[in-house]
């Protein structure tokens, strides 16, 4: 353990030294006329440009050497072989197995798991067909976290391709406004509900499910009719049948599938319903292509490794606290939120896998939005703010609508923002735009119009937004997070940080709902509960 910790400290020192030296001036790196070619990689319709990041061959070679000493390839093989990589919970992480095609060579210890995955996929296809044949036109996914964000991202990206008469709606929040906003537009006889919960004990999902059942009963459906409109996706099938879901409507998946890595599993059932199993298989195929790339490509051309290295360079080398994801495609509006959970829940930790405090920062704050809209919101701070915020730009090249001029303008805006972040504007250039360079007001204005530049970005350009490229993009981000976590010594597959708030909620809820006060809480929390109860009683 001490040897690995020393190697990780060496990696952090390498990143700090590079950030203060060769990586300090991004613009100088473009003295290499082949830089754009050298630092771009394409996988299956997904082109990634890292030229505007502070990478050079010396840094990548040194980081690759440390990765070898940290047995990073071995860590990848452990993942693919189904070995325990989630030590704190004693589990493997089987999300890569979910997207291995039927004809693939499966590790001996995973053959039965893979056969079960293929059987579940067939069950998903059959159940989707039965629901459609029964007149179900809207499937409402009740889930939260990974049980919501993955299917929602893919559905909203591909909604225009949904099969005729099949729509999805999503409710994650326990806030009754969220559920009512969906229910008020539904016909209960043409709607069904997916209860997506790995444990089948998630508070928000169970509460929304009970309210959805009450809504159906209030609209005249009997117990059997209600049951036929329930589907459960869970790692606890017995809990689902006890709840009242028919056994033939229960889709299972393994405990070794983490929520934020689960869109490839039965959690993706709504996508099979909406788009058909072949499009879902294309999503899996795109992800599998990335698995093969990350597993076999040398580190210097390995996109999973390079993206992880870029993230660690910003966080541990430059000390940048956040990372903005800006999508120049309305269909991908959920991507920043999806990546927020994937990165921050996976690697947002302050101790390593052995419980030892980290001597360097871990995951950045991930946030973002949709361009061009956000150019009129937070891009002021990106260009001229006191914090440097690395940006990931994501767009698609192919025009999927009847307004091609709009798409040209969209991509021009994205390219311009990335170029402006890099180039900047000097004081001399700003002053030259003024009529009277000696005017004190002009001088003040020029100083306000200076752009520091030298601000990094990554550009990801998809050929088009389709199932395969979406699978490629999502799986690429998963591997980036896993490799970054292993380089930091973090277990990327547990999430103890979500537990304490849940436990305290369980203590507080009876009091909030009208019960006796609960002792042991701080005065601020107690005042909030009492204020709420008083306001509710008026």
- Residue from 244, 230, 236 nearest 195 by CA: 230
Encoded tokens for 142: 């009740």
52 classed as catalytic: no
Cα 362 from Cα 367, distance rounded (Å): 16
- Residue from 196, 198, 222, 190 nearest 209 by CA: 196
CB contact set of 403 (below 8 Å; sequence gap of 6+)? none
Total length of the chain: 538
Do the beta carbons of residue 227 and residue 245 sit within 8 Å? yes
First to last CA, the chain: 60
Where in 59-178 does DSSP place strands (E)? Answer: 138-142, 167-171
Please state, as a whole number, how many other Cβ atoms lie within 10 Å of the Cβ of residue 332: 22
Please state, as a whole number, how many other Cβ atoms lie within 10 Å of the Cβ of residue 184: 8
Active-site option among 65, 502, 507, 530: 502
For the chain, counts of helices (H) and of strands (E): 23, 11
**107 CA to centre of own chain:** 28
Angstrom distances, CA of residue 391 to CA of 262, 336, 357, 414, 518: 26, 11, 28, 11, 45
345 classed as catalytic: yes
Tokens 């020029």 belong to residue: 446
Active-site option among 224, 376, 401, 503: 376
Alpha-helical regions (H) of 233-334:
237-243, 269-275, 277-296, 303-312
502 classed as catalytic: yes
CA angle, 402 as apex, 396 and 404 as ends, to 5°?
A: 55
SS3 content of the chain, % helix, strand, coil (to 5): 55, 10, 30
Active-site option among 337, 345, 466, 478: 345
Angstrom distances, CA of residue 185 to CA of 125, 179, 190, 227: 26, 11, 11, 21
Q: Which residues are catalytic?
A: 345, 376, 502
């Amino acid at each position: 353990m001490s040897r690995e910790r020393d190697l990780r400290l060496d990696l952090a020192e390498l990143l700090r030294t590079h950030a203060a030296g060769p990586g300090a001036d991004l613009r100088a790196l473009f003295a290499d006329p082949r830089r754009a070619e050298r630092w771009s990689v394409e996988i299956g319709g997904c082109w990634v440009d890292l030229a505007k990041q502070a990478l050079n061959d010396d840094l990548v070679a040194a980081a690759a050497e440390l990765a070898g000493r940290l047995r990073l390839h071995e860590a990848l093989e452990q993942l693919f072989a189904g070995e325990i990589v989630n030590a704190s919970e004693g589990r493997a992480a089987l999300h890569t197995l979910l997207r291995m095609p039927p004809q693939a060579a499966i590790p001996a210890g995973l053959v039965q798991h893979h056969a079960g995955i293929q059987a579940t996929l067939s069950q998903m296809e059959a159940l989707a067909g039965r629901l459609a044949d029964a007149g179900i036109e809207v499937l409402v996914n009740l889930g939260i976290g990974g049980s919501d964000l993955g299917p929602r991202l893919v559905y909203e990206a591909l909604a225009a391709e949904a099969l005729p008469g099949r729509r999805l709606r999503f409710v994650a929040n326990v806030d009754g406004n969220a559920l009512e906003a969906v229910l008020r537009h539904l016909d209960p006889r043409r709607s069904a509900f997916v209860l997506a919960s790995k444990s089948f004990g998630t508070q928000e999902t169970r509460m929304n499910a009970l309210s959805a059942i009450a809504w159906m009963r209030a609209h005249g459906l009997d117990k059997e009719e209600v049951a036929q409109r329930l589907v459960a996706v869970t790692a606890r099938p017995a809990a689902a049948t006890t709840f009242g879901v028919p056994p033939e409507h229960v889709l299972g998946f393994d405990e070794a599938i983490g929520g934020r890595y689960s869109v490839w599993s039965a959690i993706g059932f709504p996508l099979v319903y909406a788009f058909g199993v072949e499009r879902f298989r294309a999503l899996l195929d795109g992800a599998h292509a990335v698995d093969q790339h990350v597993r076999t490509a040398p580190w210097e051309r390995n996109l999973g490794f390079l993206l992880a290295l870029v993230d660690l360079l910003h966080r541990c080398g430059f000390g940048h606290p956040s990372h903005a994801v800006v999508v120049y495609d309305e269909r991908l509006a959920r991507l920043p939120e999806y990546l927020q959970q994937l990165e921050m829940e996976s690697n947002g930790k302050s101790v390593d896998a052995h419980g030892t405090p980290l001597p360097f920062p871990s995951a950045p704050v991930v946030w973002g939005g949709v361009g061009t809209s956000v150019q009129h919101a937070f891009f002021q701070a990106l260009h001229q703010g006191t914090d440097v915020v690395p940006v990931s730009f994501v767009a698609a090249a192919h025009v999927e609508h009847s307004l091609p001029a709009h798409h040209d303008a969209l991509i021009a805006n994205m390219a311009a923002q990335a170029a402006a972040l890099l180039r900047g504007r000097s004081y001399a250039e700003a002053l030259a735009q003024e009529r009277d360079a000696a005017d004190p007001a002009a001088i003040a204005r020029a100083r306000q119009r200076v752009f520091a530049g030298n601000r990094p970005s990554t550009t990801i350009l998809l050929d088009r937004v389709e199932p395969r490229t979406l699978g490629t993009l999502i799986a690429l981000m998963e591997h980036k997070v896993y490799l970054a976590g292993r380089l930091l010594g973090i277990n990327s597959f547990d999430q103890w940080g979500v537990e304490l708030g849940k436990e305290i909620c369980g203590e507080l809820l009876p009091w909030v709902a009208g019960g006796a006060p609960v002792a042991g809480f701080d005065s601020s929390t107690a005042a909030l509960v009492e204020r709420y109860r008083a306001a509710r009683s008026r």
